[in-house]
Amino acid sequence: MSEFLDFLKYKFAYVAIGEFKPGKFQEAEQLFEKAVATYTEGFKGAYLLQEPGTDKGIAVILWESLEKMEANQSELNDAILQQMTPLFAKAPKINFYEVCSEIPPKDE
């Protein structure tokens, strides 16, 4: 069991919860994908979730470590995120979490 926990203890999630101005979710999604495409070492995956019928969403970006996340910040990434800022109805709520459990699907 400790090997499993050792495997997990290095994963972190950046989570942003926010709402975009009416009709701006698709534009924000394109910018999200563009920003994520700049990530390299330590990047473990990303999800953008949308509440159906709304412009509310949750972005989850998984990292090997907080240090790797910080190392992936670049001028290009910052410029893309600056393009996204005016699309928000209000500033998103951002938190960082340690991944404590990961359950992959069973093989079919």
What Rg, from alpha-carbon coordinates, does the chain have? Answer: 15
- Per-residue pLDDT tens digits of the chain, which is 108 residues long: 555 555 555 689 999 999 999 999 999 999 999 999 999 999 999 999 999 999 999 999 999 999 999 999 999 999 999 999 999 999 999 999 999 888 889 986
CB-CB contact of 57 with 48 (8 Å)? yes
What is the CATH class of 10-98? alpha beta
Confidence (pTM): 0.86
Residue at 6: amino acid letter = D
The reported pLDDT for the residue numbered 107 is 84
The reported pLDDT for the residue numbered 58 is 98
